[in-house]
């Protein structure tokens, strides 16, 4: 039986307050969950039953974030890209985070296993 988790990738090369960062992580989590509900409902049900494991990891650039986003799409994982609305700290359209999953640990780890915790 697989274990399931959700991973949120956050850019560390842009200045965000702790509150802004928390909101971007929340956006990524909810958006990725909505994608998973559309396509991988059985993964969501298992993830919810097992405690909703989430891990927040850091990336150092937009290029790295986009590369990981595209790789998650190639693996057919539920994935979401967060672009800020520009209402507070960041310019409109600033890409801040990516949510992946919930999905089996082993699939997510193939993409994010080398990244460090935020």
Quick one: pLDDT at residue 61? 98
- Kindly state the helix (H) or strand (E) to which residue 57 belongs, with its residue range: strand 54-59
**DSSP, res 56:** E
Could you report the per-residue pLDDT of 29-88, keeping only the tens digit for each?
999 999 999 999 999 999 999 999 999 999 999 999 999 999 999 999 999 999 999 888
Q: Which of 108, 24, 36 is nearest to 69 (CA)?
A: 108
Could you report the per-residue pLDDT of 72-81, keeping only the tens digit for each?
999 999 999 9
**DSSP, res 45:** H
Quick one: pLDDT at residue 1? 61
Radius of gyration of the chain (CA): 14
> What domains sit in the chain, N to C, each tagged with a CATH number?
4-112 (3.40.1490.10)
Question: What is the band of 2 on the pLDDT scale with cuts at 50, 70, 90?
Answer: confident
Quick one: pLDDT at residue 45? 96
Q: Which of 41, 45, 54, 69 is nearest to 6 (CA)?
A: 54
């Amino acid at each position: 039986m697989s274990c399931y988790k959700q991973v949120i990738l956050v850019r560390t090369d842009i200045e965000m307050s702790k509150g802004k960062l928390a909101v971007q992580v929340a956006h990524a989590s909810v958006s990725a969950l909505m994608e998973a509900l559309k396509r991988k409902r059985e993964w969501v049900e298992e993830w919810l039953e097992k405690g909703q494991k989430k891990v927040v990891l850091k990336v150092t650039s937009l290029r790295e974030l986009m590369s990981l986003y595209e790789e998650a799409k190639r693996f057919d994982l539920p994935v979401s890209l967060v672009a800020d609305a520009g209402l507070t700290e960041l310019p409109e359209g600033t890409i801040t985070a990516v949510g992946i999953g919930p999905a089996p640990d082993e699939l997510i780890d193939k993409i994010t296993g080398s990244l460090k915790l935020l």
